[in-house]
Amino acid sequence: AVQRTFSIVKPDATKRNITGKVNAKIEDAGLRIIAQKRIQLSKEQAGEFYGIHKERPFYNDLVEFMTSGPVVVQVLEGEDAIAKYREVMGATNPKEADAGTIRAEFAESIDANTVHGSDAPETAAEEIPFFFSDDEIVG
């Protein structure tokens, strides 16, 4: 079925000026970018967005990294978009990411791993409205 998923192009990508290369990977996979904006996350926003990881040892570094520069938040649409985007991203740890995936090609480390994508329909349904109102999404 046609689904929507939420994506973040992370600060390591904006810093290296490769957001277009990341978007090309997304579009080459048949996913459509139906909403997109470049923003600077506040500590509060990043902390709340990643609230599910609050008790994990990497939480503070994650919030620090995600606020270290601009990010590009996106809504992607396509057939099985959630699973498809996870395939296109590759494993969280770039050392484990399959060849040709965004993280294999571009990620610098498990924190600076270039992209985030929703892991399930329930997560996408929370993450999309966290950043976008309905009128900002044009499918």
Smallest gap from residue 135 Cβ to ligand CMP (A): 26
SS (H, E, C) 65-134: HHCCCCEEEEEEEEECHHHHHHHHHCCCCHHHCCCCCHHHHHCCCCCCCCEEECCCHHHHHHHHHHHCCH
Q: Check 63, 116, 117, 131 and give the catalytic one.
A: 116
CB of 7 to ligand CMP, least distance (A): 10
Cβ closest to ligand CMP, residue 45 vs residue 92: 92
53 noted as active-site residue: no
Nearest approach in angstroms of CB 62 to ligand CMP is 5
- Return residues touching ligand CMP (CB under 6 A): 53, 58, 62, 92, 110-111, 113, 116
CB nearer to ligand CMP: give 3 or 10. Answer: 10
Q: Which CB atom, from 55 or from 134, has the smaller least distance to ligand CMP?
A: 55
**Encoded amino acid at 8, one letter:** I
CB crowding 56-93: b at 16 or more within 10 Å, else e? eeeeeebbebbbbebbbbbbbbbeebbebbbebbbbee
- Residue closer to ligand CMP (CB basis): 29 or 110: 110
In the bound complex, what is the minimum distance in angstroms from residue 61's beta carbon to ligand CMP?
7
- HSE (CB half, 13 Å, CA atoms) of 111? 12
**Residues, the chain:** 139
Enzyme catalytic residues = 116
